[in-house]
Amino acid sequence: MADRQLTVTVVVPGEPQGKARARVSRRNGLPRMYTPNKTASYERMVGWMAREAGVRPCKGPVTLSVAAHFLMPQSASKSRKAEMMLTRPTKKPDIDNVAKAVLDGLLSIAYGDDAQVVGLHVTKHWTDRDPCVVVHITREADVV
């Protein structure tokens, strides 16, 4: 039987966020590593939006295409916004941190281990409407 590909699109509303570095605190004199609340919240939202889109865990290889859409500044003139639409944002967060937040948010929802991700394409774009992250998840059909 030939391999079948399944693609699901997930839209995560809001300004794209990157994975922040782990923080260290001390409890009873012992160091404790934790993910900052803003990052953990964003990763939960990625997972929730994936579930809402019908994403189910698979055991095979997965390819992701991630497009981060950043809102243009309100202060930009119409002509400046037109120029910006011809370029790509070079602002924070870094593209690899956006990808990491999405990958971690999809863990145990789209795949059991992020080692299953065999392809990743990440881009940044400007938008004059609603900022968001659009994720296309492509996987092989599960064999029954």
pLDDT at position 139 is 87
Give the pLDDT confidence score for residue 27 in this predicted structure.
Answer: 84
pTM, 2 dp: 0.87
Strands 62-71 and 117-127: parallel
Give the pLDDT score at 50.
Answer: 97
Q: Closest Cα partner for 18 from 87, 104, 88? A: 104
User: What pLDDT digit, counting tens, does each position of 123-143 carry?
Assistant: 999 999 999 999 999 987 554
**Domain count across the chain:** 1
Encoded amino acid at 51, one letter: R
Mean pLDDT over all residues of the chain?
Answer: 91
Name the strand (E) or helix (H) holding 132. strand 132-140
* Model pLDDT for residues 77-125, shown as the tens digit of each residue: 999 999 999 999 999 999 999 999 999 999 999 999 999 999 999 999 9
Token pair of 39 as six digits: 């990052």
Q: Is the pLDDT of residue 1 over 60?
A: no
Q: Which domain holds residue 40?
A: 5-140
Strand partners, 90: none
Q: Contact at 8 Å (CB) between 6 and 142? A: no
- Residues 1-18 have a mean pLDDT of 84
Give me the CATH number covering residue 125. 3.30.1330.70
What is the distance between the alpha carbons of residues 96 and 120, in angstroms, rounded to a whole number?
Answer: 10
Residue 144 pLDDT greater than 50, yes or no: no
Q: Contact at 8 Å (CB) between 117 and 62? A: yes
Give the rounded distance of the alpha carbon of 104 from its chain centre: 8
Are the CB atoms for 118 and 61 separated by under 8 Å? Answer: yes
